[in-house]
Amino acid sequence: MILQEVILCATAPQPSASGSGSIVLHDIQTGTSLASFKQSSSAPHCTSFIETRDGQGGFILAAQQDKSILNVYNFQKDQLALKIVLPERLSCIALDNSGSFCAGGTTQGRIYLWEVASGILYNSWDAHYRHVNVLKFTHDGAALISGSDDSGVSVWSVARLVDDDAQNELPTPYCTLSDHTLPVKDIVCGLGAFPTCRVLTASLDHSVKLWDLSSQSLLTTFHFPKPISSAVWDITERLFFAASPDGSIYQVNLFRQRTEKHAGQTIEAVGGAGVSDIIRVADEDKQQHQPITALTISFTSSLLLVGTAAGLIHLYDIASHQLLRTISTHKGLSISHLATMLKPPDLVGHISLSLNLGSSADAKDVIPVHPVVPFHRTKDTKAREAHEVMMMLPVQDETPGGIPSAYDYPEAEFQRDYAFFVQPNAMGTSEASSARVAELEAEIENLREQLGKAKGINDVMWETVVQKVMTQEKQKVVVEGGSATVPREVEDQDDVERPRKKGKKTEGNK
């Protein structure tokens, strides 16, 4: 089974405690710890990662909250792979989906943009007046969105930021989303290429706003009874969850079903109609009342994962809002980051058997790690002109030992695993069910045939035993009853088996 979902969480010591946190991978079904990367203490929005895919191993970046250090980990080793010294302490970081660029924000409102493979500092500029709380790339990596304590949200074109001809100019944002009145704490980018995607922004002004980047306009505003510090959006963009620092969680459905007399049932979009459309995930008396620091949704959109400042990870069923389980491994720490991902085939201690490796040390040869080099602390014109980048050329299928067998995924096996992954309690489609029924019927027919054979053998054995017992009983009756007539067959048998006695020869025989 290759499709296995895991939880990646980052922890940090609580403000009143000392020590260091870690980055841990948990099994989403059982909650057991699969791997741990220590010596890391990152604040919220200061952890980012790239999954293992396309024949390259993934990596994790964690900006330390008390120093200007960026820790780099890869999934093949549980030790620190690289420690990068930064120009200043970062308050948030972000990686694009391809792992090409890394952005970092500071408490002074400055943003840095590096190329991961070369370490070149492409740009650094004063983007906000105050603390930068969150940075997010769009799904295609074409835009960078920043949220700050100055209540502003700015959208930056990555192509403009890396343009050589614009290096001497102050970067200007593609657009500025300025409708919040208090610090912006979280940003969620919807699917789609920039600028056709939509964006959610959460703020301490008790609101979550939905923006359309193509028209640079505000679509709607959702008001909440308490400040909002975290938000997460369903992959289908049908609903989102918002959490407040005091532990309250709210669900907002963006669409609802309406019944009309002539048109029947129709689906309509829901605007910001106030708190009447907001659903609490937990009742007031059952709420944990722990500050919520992180939110995420599972791949199947069936589970809501909630990280708290007390080190607990709660897993809620989205459909019923029931608390299914709680992972309490990190008590005494604060959960600063939560995400779900597929279990890496090169994960330390859990190397996939399909890779055909002699040892875990061979994983770096079969799946080379995505290159990460130390980031430059200043803009270097010479480095930009040279622009040396380590990259992995695509390996052809006929190259022996090139592509690991973990990525040679047959279509039939993929569909079977996908059906199990999406619906663990059912095999999924009607075709799979029909095939399963036919298989069970054939097995039953085979069992019936074997049962008939076994019954025939048993009947033969029974008749043989009965005949033998009856024969012995008849012989016993003849022996014990002296006047009884000995059956002819017994007598003949006795004559045959009785040895001939030796005696004297008579005169007639001489």
In a domain, 500, yes or no: no
In a domain, 418, yes or no: no
CA distance 503 to 500: 9
Whether 391 and 461 map to the same domain: the answer is no
Among 98-102, 122-126, 293-297, 390-394, whose mean pLDDT is lowest? 390-394
Partners of 26 in the beta sheet? Answer: 7, 33
In this prediction, residue 348 has a pLDDT band, given cuts at 50, 70 and 90, of confident
Residue 152's CB is within 10 A of a number of other CB atoms, namely 21
In a domain, 145, yes or no: yes
Give yes or no for a contact between 438 and 431, defined as CB atoms under 8 angstroms apart: no
End-to-end CA distance of the chain: 96
Residues 67-93: what's their mean pLDDT? Answer: 94
Q: How would DSSP label each residue in 291-354?
A: -EEEEEE-TTS-EEEEEETTS-EEEEETTT--EEEEE-TTTTEEEEEEEEEEPPTT-TT---GG
In this prediction, residue 402 has a pLDDT band, given cuts at 50, 70 and 90, of very low
Give yes or no for a contact between 45 and 133, defined as CB atoms under 8 angstroms apart: yes
Which CATH number goes with the domain that contains 122? 2.130.10.10
- At a CB cut-off of 8 Å and minimum separation 6, what does 461 contact? none
CA distance 475 to 498: 16
Give yes or no for a contact between 330 and 35, defined as CB atoms under 8 angstroms apart: no
Give yes or no for a contact between 190 and 237, defined as CB atoms under 8 angstroms apart: yes
pLDDT digits (tens, 9 = 90+) for 153-187: 999 999 999 988 887 888 999 999 999 999 999 99
Residue, of 321 and 408, whose pLDDT is higher: 321
Range of the domain at 459: 430-479
Residue 276 Ramachandran class (φ > 0 left, ψ -120 to 50 alpha, else beta) = alpha
For residue 13, say if its preceding peptide bond is cis, omega within 30 degrees of 0. no
In this prediction, residue 16 carries a pLDDT of 72
In this prediction, residue 259 carries a pLDDT of 66
- Helix (DSSP H) and strand (DSSP E) numbers for the chain: 6, 30
Q: Which residue's entry shows tokens 């695509």?
A: 394
In a domain, 501, yes or no: no
Whether 447 and 313 map to the same domain: the answer is no
Residues 380-403: what's their mean pLDDT? Answer: 64
CA distance 316 to 319: 9
Dmax over Cα atoms in the chain, in whole Å? 149
In this prediction, residue 360 has a pLDDT band, given cuts at 50, 70 and 90, of low
- pTM for the full predicted model: 0.74
Q: For residue 73, give the 3-state DSSP assignment.
A: strand
In this prediction, residue 307 carries a pLDDT of 94
Among 38-42, 147-151, 166-170, 189-193, whose mean pLDDT is lowest? 166-170
Q: Which of 82, 83, 86, 40 is nearest to 65 (CA)?
A: 40
Whether 15 and 75 map to the same domain: the answer is yes
In a domain, 338, yes or no: yes
Using N-to-C axis directions, what is the helix angle for 430-480 and 488-497, rounded to 10°?
80
Residue 411, CA atoms < 13 Å, CB-side half-sphere: 0
Whether 435 and 290 map to the same domain: the answer is no
pLDDT digits (tens, 9 = 90+) for 40-67: 999 999 999 999 887 788 999 999 988 9
Residues 423-439: what's their mean pLDDT? Answer: 64
In this prediction, residue 32 carries a pLDDT of 92
Total number of domains in the chain: 2
CA distance 308 to 26: 16
Which residue among 355, 382, 411 closes a domain?
411
Whether 214 and 343 map to the same domain: the answer is yes
State what percent of residues in the chain have pLDDT above 90.
51
In a domain, 505, yes or no: no
**DSSP category for residue 355:** G
Whether 338 and 457 map to the same domain: the answer is no
H or E segment and range at residue 106: strand 101-106
pLDDT digits (tens, 9 = 90+) for 447-470: 999 998 988 888 888 888 888 888
Whether 471 and 350 map to the same domain: the answer is no
In this prediction, residue 284 carries a pLDDT of 44
Whether 49 and 193 map to the same domain: the answer is yes
Whether 124 and 159 map to the same domain: the answer is yes
In a domain, 229, yes or no: yes
Which residue among 411, 441, 456 closes a domain?
411
Residue, of 101 and 465, whose pLDDT is higher: 101
Question: How far lies 488's CA from each of 426, 470, 500, in Å?
Answer: 72, 16, 19
Among 31-45, 289-303, 309-323, 340-354, whose mean pLDDT is lowest? 340-354
Answer whether residue 265 shows pLDDT above 60. yes
Residue, of 385 and 25, whose pLDDT is higher: 25
Whether 318 and 434 map to the same domain: the answer is no
In this prediction, residue 263 has a pLDDT band, given cuts at 50, 70 and 90, of low
Average pLDDT over the chain, rounded to whole?
82
In a domain, 209, yes or no: yes
In this prediction, residue 504 carries a pLDDT of 46
Give yes or no for a contact between 208 and 222, defined as CB atoms under 8 angstroms apart: yes
